[in-house]
Amino acid sequence: MAECFAVHPKNPQPRLIDRAAELVRKGGLAVFPTDSAYALGGHLGDAALLERIRRIRGVDERHHFTLMCRDLSEIATYARVDNAQYRLLKAATPGPYTFILEGTKELPRRVLHPKKKTIGLRVPDHPVTRALLAALDEPILCSTLILPGENEPLADPEEIRARLDPVVDVIIDAGPCGSGMTTVIELVGGQITLLRAGKGPLEPFGLTTPD
């Protein structure tokens, strides 16, 4: 059974966040809220955890995982970012964006896209997520909590607990956080490509929603 922590969505209790971080640090698979939807994630270096996420999500090795980071300095550690890309990232973070960037050698090959060698990176703007990242003092490898055959992520903590309690280790319940997903933008090869329109506005990138 998962350990469940009911936390305040804006002022999460440090004691509960520290306990959740301890479990994640030990290899626990966690469900936690973000500024777009609930996510499923854990320790970057744990190969078994990566496979657990793939099984729950029903995705293969071509799925782009996301590295949830505290700030741009962490992103620069794990992705190749030039000056122009950095300016774009600075203007849009923290917020509901996922950026697909070329990964660095700091990342295990197994978390990168097998052909493109890219990974999703984001800096969330949710007090609970930011508190968890601060307590961990490292990024979280994660994926949006969408179950196989479904189009929308799970947003209700009670439903999450009912459906995932046997297969995860930590559930951080901060109440409903909405089911909208991040805007996904690829920044590779000097190009800015919209992969998914979501909660993040497109104007900072000179993009428009496809017809």
Determine contact, residues 44/211, Cβ cutoff 8 Å: no
Spatial distance between the Cα atoms of 72 and 54, rounded to a whole number of angstroms: 27
C-alpha 80 chain-centroid distance: 18
Q: How far is CA 104 from CA 77, 93, 100, 108, 119, in A?
A: 7, 20, 13, 9, 10
Q: If we measure between CA atoms, which residue out of 70, 72, 51, 69 comes closest to residue 61?
A: 51
- 197 band by pLDDT with thresholds 50, 70 and 90: very high
Instruction: Give the pLDDT mean for 1-19.
Output: 96
Higher-pLDDT residue of 66 and 178 is 66
Q: Evaluate if residue 211 carries a pLDDT over 70.
A: no
Q: What pLDDT, in 10s, does the model give residues 49-89?
A: 999 999 999 998 888 899 999 999 999 899 999 999 999 99
Architecture of domain 3-205: Alpha-Beta Complex (3.90)
pTM of the full predicted structure?
A: 0.94
Greater confidence (210 vs 57) lies with: 57
pLDDT at site 155: 87
Q: What is d(CA 65, CA 128) in angstroms, rounded to the nearest whole number?
A: 20
Give the mean pLDDT of the chain.
93
